[in-house]
Structure 1
Amino acid sequence: MIKKITSASSLKGELTLPPDKSISQRAAIFSLLYDGVSEVKNYSQAQDPQSTLSCVQQLGAEVKEENGTLIIKGTGRKNIKTPVKDLDCGNSGTAMRLLSGVLVGANISAKLVGDESLCGRTMTRIIKPLEKMGAHILARNGAYAPLFINRNEPLKPLQFELPIPSAQLKSCVLLAGLFGEELTQVIEILPSRDHSERLLNLDQKVVQDRKIISASLADEIPNQSYTIPGDFSAAAFWLVAGAIQNDAEIKIGNVGLNPTRNALLDILDEMGADITIENERMEGAEPAGDIIVKGSDLKAIEIDPKMIPNCIDELPILSVAMLFAEGTSTISGAEELRHKETDRIMAMANMLNAVGANFEEKEDGLIIHGDPDFSFSSANFESYHDHRIAMAAAVLSLKGSQESFIKDAESAAVSYPGFWNDLEDLSTS
């Protein structure tokens, strides 16, 4: 689908975001592990969480929906079933990596498959620690899905220092460790998303600036009955869209405000964005609130590489904010972006190039020479079938003086099925 976007002179209105995709997928997997019934409200209808939900059903979870609430009867750790067919993770790296840990821990033989994009992403980082725990994993070229997983020896405990800040890698190892008699520990040097530790109530301690998270069979799996908050990564597009428009006021309700996810708020605040938070509260183990953003005068920023793991998914839309900020902004230490759904640094560079932006592409990021008065007429954008690139290009298109076009725009549905409707509701020509 090629999406036509017209320029907007103002952005006004209130939005309800799609449910958080990362939390939704964990809710499904952790409900499988819980020996009892969980009631999950506001579960995401996006493709990735639906793929995960289908997989946990194949592993024995009983799922039904009542009045918008998912009722999930888990198997507990001892009664997970061997699936009768391949576990199709679709486009979800979270599903493939976290379920790999579950399969290894539970000693379930299964084949994990995915779409073309997922099968192009390396799984080496999870294969190596899982094999140290006793797994036998066959992968295409030793690194890529499909993954054939089994375990023919006792589960071994592991003390694993994360080579990079990765919530998926961390969660994979901890989920395998939940099935072990002895303690498995993950040592985190730089912070990554902590949804798994929160939702599973795992033991955590800080020793010499390193966080150590532990898991074993002794950990009781908590009931997963809660309301999924709105996806902060989805809110990011509107936060930037509102900040770069002269005439804008957008209210976004029920946004997840997990401190390991919302570095973009601090970055935009430092850039001078007019953002306020109201009605702060807890949704289960996760903080949430309502956010209001208004048109702002932005200034450039050099992002501390230590903050990158906390805003990795927001960098494509952040590059749009930088384009309209006064001065030169820098993204560095973001080489991980080259291993997402597409090479996102390349995709961001091509997006900026399409409008004639002044920037330099680096191996681990971008240098963007911004201008609050930057203007362009129209552009043709490639999304590379990447949802975040498609939506970032849409926000950028609103600033053009004429119509712009985004190729393969349907990819936005991976994380935000209602994005195009919300965009239309907010914008006025």
Structure 2
Amino acid sequence: MSGHAIEPARRLTGEVMLPGDKSVSHRALLFSALATGKSVIHGLSAAQDPKSTVHCLRALGIEVHEERNTTEVIGRGTRGFSAPAAALDCGNSGTTMRLLCGILSGQTFESTLTGDGSLMKRPMKRVLGPLAKMGASISGTPAGTAPIAVKGNPYLRPLRFIADVPSAQVKSAILLAGMYAAGETTVVEPIPTRDHTERMLGLKSFDVPEGRAVTTQGGMSIPAREYSVPGDTSAAVFLIAAASLLPGSDILLKRVSVNPTRAQVFERFRRLGVSLEVVERVTVAGEEIADVRVRASGLSGALDISAPETASVIDEIPMLAVAAAVAGCSFRLRGAQELRVKESDRIELLVKNLRSMEVEVEEYADGFAFGPNNAVIGGRIGTAGDHRIAMAFGVAGLVVPGVILDDASCVEVSFPGFWNTIDRLRSH
């Protein structure tokens, strides 16, 4: 059987400008489309997921002009979208699909959202339910998955929604739909999630007995503006882990998002003894940005991630778990059932692949655990086309000889040029 064999590295050194943060990129595109006039986005992610958002916006009549590191979007206001001629293909991007559900719920036309095989399996009831309560005619399959049919209602009802599943995508979809409602729409999060939407739109947030609340006003307008997209925090973790595990490594990650709702993963690395320094911190358009220096330190100790913590590091769990296994640390994860409905069943894949590397793993419905001092060996890794699984075990292969990925190309979904970046850092 063919596959992509990972060549072990001695060390990683040098500076890296990471791809633009995916979460910020999606929102910069969508908010620019909702504005009236020209917005300029610097550093937009070149990953496949934001390209899906661009594709859908163009199909909705929005002009998007891309040139080198700058993207111009000619917004037409909240009610300026055109009915698409065909189904809107969101590719692999759950963010594209869910946030567009919120916007399309307030339009005057009908539309359909679809995607690739992976996205068509992901749960959408969590966003369809609250939008239907607001007055949108919106439905998926009987299983609550895509394709999603939306018949817009320009006069939605305001909603106070208490999130039962921590999801920044669902929160953002409801808040965007709230722009088309008469009154104030509020989302309450018992467990806080990423707050890029609140920061970028300047929305009011406050504490309530149930948790943290954020509101949007019906009829609000979004100004055309300039956006500067920071480096992707979730992409940074793969290089942080690699540099930590390889003796003699010393890398500097430039202009990384250190938004407090994203940078909690740095503290998880520090729990394992990683030498990680955040320097040159600045705030640009509400988003905190800094350089991150990582030097080889070796990993030690134990990492226990419980239910209240999972939402803040949900995308970074694959790399945290694999790094802990390679370093001989113990690891325990609970309350992370959301991992089973990501681009793949990440709990199942992580357990299966770690076991193929001779790690003794105990699997739970909502997580997994393994003890210290596993004698990790190389093995054939099944990625199921999941970019984060591929990169996590790709990093393992830099340390452990004999790692073979069945699909290395899927990393383009979130980190274009990942393998070239690794090769450049190892060549110094």
Does the TM-score normalized on the shorter chain lie above 0.5? yes
TM-score (norm 2): 0.95
Matched, 1:117 2:148: no
Residue number in structure 1 paired with 2:8: 7
Q: 1:343 aligns with which of 342, 345, 368?
A: 345
How far does the alpha carbon of each residue in 1:298-330 deviate from its partner, in whole angstroms, 9 at most, with x for none? 211212321110100000000022214565321
In structure 2, the gaps of 5 or more residues are: none
Structure 1 residue 18, shift from structure 2 partner: 0.8
Residue number in structure 1 paired with 2:107: 106
Residue number in structure 2 paired with 1:135: 136
Structure 1 residue 220, shift from structure 2 partner: 3.1
Structure 1 residue 30, shift from structure 2 partner: 0.7
Residue number in structure 1 paired with 2:423: 424
How far does the alpha carbon of each residue in 1:91-134 deviate from its partner, in whole angstroms, 9 at most, with x for none? 00000000000000224310111011110112111111111111
Report the AA paired with residue 353 of structure 2: M
Structure 1 residue 27, shift from structure 2 partner: 0.8
CA distance in 2, matches of 1:366, 1:142: 27
Structure 1 residue 2, shift from structure 2 partner: 2.5
Residue number in structure 2 paired with 1:277: 278
Residue number in structure 1 paired with 2:391: 391
How far does the alpha carbon of each residue in 1:120-168 deviate from its partner, in whole angstroms, 9 at most, with x for none? 1121111111111111123222511111110468411111000021000
Contact 1:93 1:118 in 2 (8 A): yes
Residue number in structure 2 paired with 1:311: 313
In structure 1, the gaps of 5 or more residues are: none
Contact 1:102 1:172 in 2 (8 A): yes
Please identify, of 294-303 and 16-25, the stretch whose mean Cα deviation from structure 2 is larger.
Answer: 294-303
Report the AA paired with residue 193 of structure 2: S
3-state secondary structure, aligned to 2:9: coil
3-state secondary structure, aligned to 1:238: helix
Matched, 1:362 2:361: no
Structure 1 residue 223, shift from structure 2 partner: 3.0
Structure 1 residue 66, shift from structure 2 partner: 4.1
Where does 1:199-278 land on structure 2 (aligned, <5 Å)?
199-208=200-209, 210-278=211-279
Report the AA paired with residue 135 of structure 1: A
Question: How many equivalent pairs are there?
Answer: 426
Matched, 1:301 2:323: no
TM-score (norm 1): 0.95
Where does 1:155-234 land on structure 2 (aligned, <5 Å)?
155-208=156-209, 210-234=211-235
CA distance in 1, matches of 2:230, 2:271: 25
Where does 1:28-47 land on structure 2 (aligned, <5 Å)?
28-47=29-48
How far does the alpha carbon of each residue in 1:381-412 deviate from its partner, in whole angstroms, 9 at most, with x for none? 11110000000010111121x33210111110
Please identify, of 320-329 and 123-132, the stretch whose mean Cα deviation from structure 2 is larger.
Answer: 320-329
Identity over aligned pairs, percent: 38
- The 1:152/1:301 distance shift into structure 2, 3 A limit, reads closer
Contact 1:40 1:228 in 2 (8 A): yes
How far does the alpha carbon of each residue in 1:46-65 deviate from its partner, in whole angstroms, 9 at most, with x for none? 11100101111222221113
Contact 2:236 2:253 in 1 (8 A): yes
Structure 1 residue 217, shift from structure 2 partner: 2.5
How far does the alpha carbon of each residue in 1:346-372 deviate from its partner, in whole angstroms, 9 at most, with x for none? 11112211210122111111112133x
3-state secondary structure, aligned to 1:122: coil
Residue number in structure 1 paired with 2:404: 405
Contact 2:186 2:215 in 1 (8 A): yes
CA distance in 1, matches of 2:77, 2:277: 42
3-state secondary structure, aligned to 1:424: helix
Please identify, of 316-325 and 163-172, the stretch whose mean Cα deviation from structure 2 is larger.
Answer: 316-325
3-state secondary structure, aligned to 1:145: coil
How far does the alpha carbon of each residue in 1:194-226 deviate from its partner, in whole angstroms, 9 at most, with x for none? 011111111111123621111123433133412
Matched, 1:78 2:75: no
CA distance in 1, matches of 2:48, 2:108: 27
Please identify, of 376-385 and 228-237, the stretch whose mean Cα deviation from structure 2 is larger.
Answer: 376-385
Please identify, of 379-388 and 145-154, the stretch whose mean Cα deviation from structure 2 is larger.
Answer: 145-154
Contact 1:199 1:222 in 2 (8 A): no
Residue number in structure 2 paired with 1:92: 93
